[in-house]
Amino acid sequence: MTSFVIGTAAGLNPYVALLVAGAIAGWTSRLELSAELGVDGVSIWRTVALLAGAALAMDLTLGKARRFAWLMRRLSEASSTVAGAVGASMVCPDEVPIWVAAVCGSFGAYAISHMISRIASHGARSAKWVRMGDVPVLMGAATGAAIIIPLAVALPIIGTGLATMLLITVSSGAFIVSRRPSGPQFQPVAKKVASGSAKPS
């Protein structure tokens, strides 16, 4: 079930997933790596973790700027396909072909990442969040990704259960958002002032 957890984390935030999974695989022996990948790739996983950490730092900074938010989100969705494939295949059971795990992990991670984008996009148009509702959504997703992988390694049942709950939450949120209007959820200040002045005293 570790493949499912890492794949889910890759959908929540691909950079966090590769950073945490790569660090555990590169600096500890807690992850049982796939036999096809072998244990000789320790230095590779350390490199993956470092590169993912650098990408995460860029995503956390530029991703919150309005000018680069859309671009960084598209890059995150594209990266989720790679992170999902790598994460699911690195701990793939011996009886499962590694390409099957890679395809399933890639598809599942992208589906989750796309749902996160829909929820964040809706929050970015919300007047209640001052058009910054995407920030708590993306930060919450990154936090969830950072939690479930170590938890699944230490306590597999609890970690898998939490990953399942997060998947259900994201799916439910995306469904609720899809039922709401897609237009802007705010009213310009100038329009409010004009409508207020038009009211009879």
**Domain range list for the chain:** 2-198
Q: How far apart are CA 89 and CA 94, in angstroms?
A: 10
User: What is the reported pLDDT for 185?
Assistant: 44
CA distances from residue 15 to 10, 23, 122, 126, 149 in whole angstroms, order as listed? 7, 12, 23, 27, 13
Q: Which residue has the higher pLDDT, 126 or 118?
A: 118
Residue burial 125-164, b: 16+ Cβ < 10 Å; e: rest: beeebeeebbeebbebbbebbbbbbbbbbeeeeebbbbbe
In percent, the amount of the chain with pLDDT more than 90 equals: 55
The string of DSSP codes covering 80-127 is HHHHHHHHHHHT--TTS-HHHHHHHHHHHHHHHHHHHHHHHHHHHTBT
Q: Which residue has the higher pLDDT, 124 or 110?
A: 110
User: What is the reported pLDDT for 39?
Assistant: 53
In percent, the amount of the chain with pLDDT more than 70 equals: 83
pLDDT in tens, 159-180: 999 999 999 999 999 999 888 7
Q: Which residue has the higher pLDDT, 181 or 66?
A: 66
User: What is the reported pLDDT for 37?
Assistant: 64
Q: Which residue has the tokens 């859309």?
A: 70
Q: Which residue has the higher pLDDT, 96 or 163?
A: 163
User: What is the pTM assigned to this prediction?
Assistant: 0.83
Q: Is the pLDDT of residue 196 over 60?
A: no
pLDDT in tens, 71-83: 999 999 999 999 9
101: left (phi over 0), alpha (psi -120 to 50) or beta: alpha
CA angle 147, 170, 161 (to 5 degrees): 45
